[in-house]
Amino acid sequence: MRVIVKIGTSSLTGKSGEVNVLALSKLVEEVVAARVEGHEIVVVTSGAITAGVQRLGIERPDEPEILQAISAVGQIDLMRAYGEEFGSHGVATGQVLLAPHDFRDRNQYLHAETTFEHLIRLNVVPIVNENDAVADDAIRYGDNDRIAALVANLLRADLLVLLTDTPGVLTADPRIEPNATLIEEIAAIDRAIEEVAGNAGSRGSGGMASKLAAARMASWSGVRTVIAAADRPDVVSEAIAGISGIGTAVPAREARIAARKLWIGFAVTAHGRVTVDDGAAQALCSAGGSLLIAGITGSEGPYDLGDAVDVVNLSGEVFAKGLISFDSETMNKWKGSRAEELPSGISPVAIHRDDLVILEEPQ
């Protein structure tokens, strides 16, 4: 199997930010064991910012630009720790830095894919981290859960394992409900499940909500996901074996979405929204066509040409997302207009079907 294993900051670092050598050693031993069994493993890691804060001996700041600089410091300690642990088993590692927008450009996408394939062919374990030091918006909204799901799509993986500091997705927040129990499988990630997930963790940018979002992305990529505790014995091998109850499993969808549409649907922030009438909503979901400006009844911005926007029905439910062909000022002026009513040079297509992702059928 080809497996993407992602470990979070809270599982990999101590409270003061130092790399938890015991946790790292456990992860490496399990990855090495899986490789011996013939599996191809890619590791996605968090922890660079937290390690950088610890190295510099400062309090974690809030400013994204400062966090980006700090990540460059922590990245060195983090990769050194991985190199030493894998090296003790005679296994070479290679660092790969990625950001969500790397998956938008076709040339970058193909180059990343080729790099991974060569590393795997060279018997190297790729160690992936978000390119925090230069990513423009990653720290504000991104996380390595999302990167892991994108890599799973890129490499057509069989399994995504998200290792965290909880047993998986629970029926409630255990800090509030001590009797909360593990949800062993989630057939579909809906609003009720997302409400259970809660907010981001205290030492990382992720949390259970981001893991569910990543699992949904992986599912749309045809990849099964297991969310489980990093400190569970043999968690990687048991996830690969498909043993139930070791965490929360999210099955793969039968239809696999293309990488670019996955990026549009899940990895880029929406800058606004457009509301469409029932006819347009039905046409988009059933016919797979483009969204025409005639079907748009409302617009909320501001947004620019090429920005991602949510597409909502008249009930206010988001059912699609796409890259808009107009800025919000132009949209507000011509929304609802038929093709023959538009001036020369204004296309009737608001979002082309190649730039549109249907997330769920509107109710």
Per-residue pLDDT of the chain (363 residues; tens, 9 = 90+): 999 999 988 898 887 777 889 999 999 999 999 999 999 999 999 888 888 998 998 988 888 788 889 988 999 999 999 999 999 999 999 999 987 667 777 788 888 999 999 999 999 999 998 876 666 554 444 578 988 998 999 999 999 999 998 999 988 877 788 888 999 999 877 677 777 666 444 444 457 888 998 998 899 889 999 999 999 999 999 999 999 999 999 999 887 787 778 888 877 789 999 999 999 999 898 878 899 999 999 999 899 999 999 999 999 889 999 999 999 999 999 999 999 999 988 899 999 999 999 987 544
Write down the pTM of the prediction: 0.82
161 inside domain: yes
Q: Are strands 93-98 and 2-7 parallel, antiparallel or unpaired?
A: unpaired
Which of 261, 287, 317 is the last residue before a domain boundary? 261
Nearest to 163 by CA among 320, 322, 7, 326: 7
Q: Are residues 225 and 304 in the same domain?
A: no
Cα first-last separation, the chain: 38
168 inside domain: yes
Say what the pLDDT of residue 173 is.
76
Q: How far apart are CA 212 and CA 238, in angstroms?
A: 20
Q: How far apart are CA 9 and CA 74, in angstroms?
A: 12
Q: Are residues 107 and 89 in the same domain?
A: yes
Q: Are residues 330 and 292 in the same domain?
A: yes
Which of 234, 261, 288 is the last residue before a domain boundary? 261
Say what the pLDDT of residue 88 is.
97
The CATH number for 169's domain is 3.40.1160.10
The CATH number for 304's domain is 2.30.130.10
Which residues sit opposite 323 in a β-bridge? 308
User: Residue 189 has which token pair?
Assistant: 């990630």
Say what the pLDDT of residue 132 is.
64
**Contact between 81 and 19 (Cβ < 8 Å):** yes
Say what the pLDDT of residue 200 is.
41
Total domain count, the chain: 2
The angle that helices 144-154 and 106-121 make with each other, rounded to 10 degrees, is 80
Which of 216, 239, 261 is the last residue before a domain boundary? 261
Say what the pLDDT of residue 258 is.
79
Q: Are residues 186 and 323 in the same domain?
A: no
Say what the pLDDT of residue 202 is.
43
9 inside domain: yes
Nearest to 304 by CA among 334, 270, 343: 270
User: Residue 357 has which token pair?
Assistant: 């992702």
Helix, strand, coil content of the chain in percent (nearest 5): 40, 20, 35
363 inside domain: no
Phi first, then psi, for residue 280 (nearest 5°) are -65, -40
Q: Are residues 108 and 186 in the same domain?
A: yes
User: Residue 6 has which token pair?
Assistant: 């992602």
Q: Are residues 140 and 91 in the same domain?
A: yes
Q: How far apart are CA 273 and CA 356, in angstroms?
A: 13
Q: Are residues 171 and 64 in the same domain?
A: yes
Question: Exposure pattern of 327-345 as b/e (b: 16+ CB <10 Å)?
Answer: bbebbeebbebeeeeeeee
59 inside domain: yes
Q: Are residues 313 and 277 in the same domain?
A: yes
Q: Are residues 143 and 47 in the same domain?
A: yes
Q: Are residues 100 and 171 in the same domain?
A: yes
**Contact between 320 and 263 (Cβ < 8 Å):** no
**Contact between 196 and 169 (Cβ < 8 Å):** yes
**Contact between 197 and 216 (Cβ < 8 Å):** no
Q: Are residues 220 and 323 in the same domain?
A: no
Q: Are residues 200 and 342 in the same domain?
A: no
Q: Which residue segment(s) compose the domain that 47 sits in?
A: 2-261
